[in-house]
Amino acid sequence: MKPAPFAYHRPGSTAEAVRLLAADPDAKVLAGGQSLVPLLSMRLAAPTALVDLGGIPDLDSIRVDAAGVTIGALARHAAVLASDEAADCQPLLRLALQHVAHPTIRNRGTTVGSIVHADPAAEMPVVLRLLGGSVAAEGPAGRRTVEAADLFVGPLETSLGHDEVATSAFFPALPAGGGVAFEEIARRHGDYAMAGLAVVVRREGEQVVDVRAGFVSVSDTPVVVDLTDVVTGGGDPGEAALASLEPAADIHATADYRAHLVAVLTRRVVSAAIADASSRSLTR
């Protein structure tokens, strides 16, 4: 099947892209295209125009400082995955990106594009939500920062306006005493996960003081569950996670099987994140 007809624009600046989007409510932004192009080909999306960000300079940057990692809208998954500086600052980025689709997709797909596509089966929206990151957007009213907690409002839906361009995403650095882990279960590596999660923990000395888990392919939007009290109290993090979630059935897994995966993975990944925090404290 071929896409429905559409106009094509390649602006040279973010401001021009915003003007084009504001003039046509049915236009769509094109960055890497790895999510949008298949939808066009199957006619599950039929925009009147595509606004290609590829002609805008400096949107492919990956900037790292003491506060965290800022990823530009055109930075490819593969580039972020390969950045040792980004991985040193926030190791969860590399751990999660290793599970994003396949190398061909990672070579073209963009991390920010995946985030604003807001697929609940995608890894990077969950990572941003778990870390308390944010997205910078530019629209007719100017620039604004959207916190991850306010970004995802439904499956494949964000709080960004149709006339706004997400220009970058910010991932906070791993704090002192921190540790992370990520794991997912898929039929084949790179396929959509039946269930997965990222965990971030923080220790003060020998004491674990913060444990949070973000879940992939479990809810309609990225969900973060605070497991601190359960873990520090010696409880079962798997059962505690299930008490806060409602795993649903789809073509990939039954609800019961997905719930089983959530319980097993939560126990395993929480333990791995705590061990990671411990090993990092020993090397400092």
Q: DSSP letter string over 10-70?
A: --SSHHHHHHHHHH-TTEEEESS-TTHHHHHHTTS---SEEEEGGGSTTTT-EEE-SSEEE
Give the domain-ending residue among 145, 172, 199.
172
- Count of domains for the chain: 3
Q: Are residues 127 and 104 in the same domain?
A: yes
Question: Quick one: pLDDT at residue 140?
Answer: 97
Percent of the chain with pLDDT over 70: 99
Those residues with Cβ within 8 angstroms of residue 83's Cβ, 6 or more apart along the chain or in another chain: 62, 64
Q: Are residues 118 and 48 in the same domain?
A: no
Query: What is this structure's pTM?
Result: 0.96
Question: Quick one: pLDDT at residue 191?
Answer: 87
Question: Quick one: pLDDT at residue 120?
Answer: 92
Question: Quick one: pLDDT at residue 23?
Answer: 98
Question: Quick one: pLDDT at residue 284?
Answer: 59
Question: Quick one: pLDDT at residue 282?
Answer: 74
**Does residue 28 sit within a domain?**
yes
Kindly report the CATH number assigned to the domain that includes residue 249.
3.30.390.50
In whole angstroms, how large is the CA radius of gyration of the chain? 19
Q: What is the dihedral of CA 151, 154, 157, 161, to 10 degrees?
A: -50
**Does residue 1 sit within a domain?**
no
Those residues with Cβ within 8 angstroms of residue 112's Cβ, 6 or more apart along the chain or in another chain: 31, 71, 72, 73, 74, 75, 135, 166, 167, 168, 169
Q: Are residues 167 and 248 in the same domain?
A: no
Q: Are residues 261 and 194 in the same domain?
A: yes
| 201-231 pLDDT per residue, tens | 999 999 999 999 999 999 999 999 999 999 9
Q: Are residues 134 and 116 in the same domain?
A: yes
Range of the domain at 51: 7-55
What's the average model confidence in pLDDT over 107-134? 97
Q: Give yes or no for residue 234 having a pLDDT over 70.
A: yes
Q: Are residues 188 and 168 in the same domain?
A: no
